[in-house]
Amino acid sequence: MKNIAVIGAGTMGNGIAHTFAQFDYKVQLIDIHQTSLDKGIATITKNLDRMVAKETISEEDKQRTLKNITTYTSLEEGVEYAGLVVEAATENVDLKLKIFRDLDKFCPEDTILASNTSSISITQIASVTSRPGMVIGMHFMNPVPIMKLVEIIKGYSTSEETFKTVEELSKKLNKVPVEVNDYPGFVANRILMPMINEAIETLYNGVAGVKEIDTVMKLGMAHPMGPLALADFIGLDVCLSILKVMYEGFKNPKYAPCPLLVNMVMAGKLGAKSGEGFYDYSQNRKAEDVSSQFSK
């Protein structure tokens, strides 16, 4: 289990790769785009530099961490020797099913296949492989190097041996693993996303503005970040995808995405990563409410 393949070099993928590499695992970071890999390594380097500046790690630790990561644009080559694969691709069912079909074909028979999915059924993902007992959810929180929680999701056929292996591995990363059953949204997003959606509904109905809603939740509920700022940080497209999975899975209208969220995603206002969401990040600073044009 010293070779860990991570699929996807985006926010979650590079954070997962960073974490494993920092704990001296050999990491194969895989993405179909070399530019994404370059950007991912640049992000890891920047985050390590920040840790060096805070004196939480040494310059030697930083260099060792970076040397532990090798990048690949070929899935087949990247997973050839992996003991564990952690998929952190876009939250899209069809894409994940294709990746897991390929992983089942390319990986050694004893490789555990994990998904960092935040809402999609592990049972469904496992069903397209010939090793459903070795498929599991390993849902890290963002930012991965800092957040302690890992939701470990057991699919219908996930073996106890697979669960225990991933649980112990999570502890070796200085994380706190929590066992969760396989239902849409699991625990974290089943509770978090309706709250974010309700905050968006509150804005949509003109009850208060962006800063006011976030201030109420920060000062009144002791949240470190307001729900609208958090939605921007997560990505409004990701929030929408998770809500859709929950709505389709439960057929309960309480999970239906707010029309404002749908419109903002269609308009390309995805949050921090696109430069604008509920806040304006174009000047690397938060601005006033920019979403009033979508309000009722």
The answer to the question of whether 208 is labelled as a binding residue is: no
CA 203, 227, 48, 20 torsion: positive or negative? negative
- The CA distances from residue 182 to 153, 187, 219, in Å, are 6, 9, 34
137 marked as part of a ligand binding site: no
Residue 131 φ then ψ, to 5°: -135, 55
Q: Is 223 a catalytic residue?
A: no
- In the set 116, 119, 170, 189, the catalytic residue is 189
Q: What values do phi and psi take at 225, rounded to 5?
A: -145, 140
Catalytic residue among 14, 36, 151, 170: 151
Query: Is 74 assigned to a binding site?
Result: no
Q: Residue 35 annotated as binding?
A: no
User: Which residue of the set 139, 170, 276, 291 is catalytic?
Assistant: 139
Would the annotation count 138 as a binding residue? no
**Amino acid at site 143:** P
33 is known as an active-site residue: no
Q: Active-site residue 76, yes or no?
A: no
Please list the residues that pair with 4 across neighbouring strands: 27, 84
Query: What residues form DSSP beta bridges with 139?
Result: 151
| Residue 8 marked in a binding site | yes
Q: Which of 115, 116, 118, 291 is catalytic?
A: 118
Beta strand ranges found along the chain (DSSP E): 3-7, 26-30, 69-72, 84-87, 112-115, 135-140, 149-154, 176-181
Q: Is 273 annotated as a binding residue?
A: yes
The answer to whether 10 is annotated as binding is yes
Cα-flanking dihedrals φ and ψ of residue 139, to 5°?
A: -95, 100
> Is 31 part of any known ligand binding site?
yes
Reply yes or no on whether 189 is catalytic. Answer: yes
**11 marked among binding-site residues:** yes
Starting at the earlier edge strand, list the strands of the sheet with 69-72: 69-72, 26-30, 3-7, 84-87, 112-115, 135-140, 149-154, 176-181
117 is in an annotated binding site: no
13 is in an annotated binding site: yes
Residues tagged in the binding site annotation for NAD(+): 8-13, 31, 91, 96, 118, 142, 273
Active-site residues, by number, are 118, 139, 151, 189
Residues tagged in the binding site annotation: 8-13, 31, 91, 96, 118, 142, 273
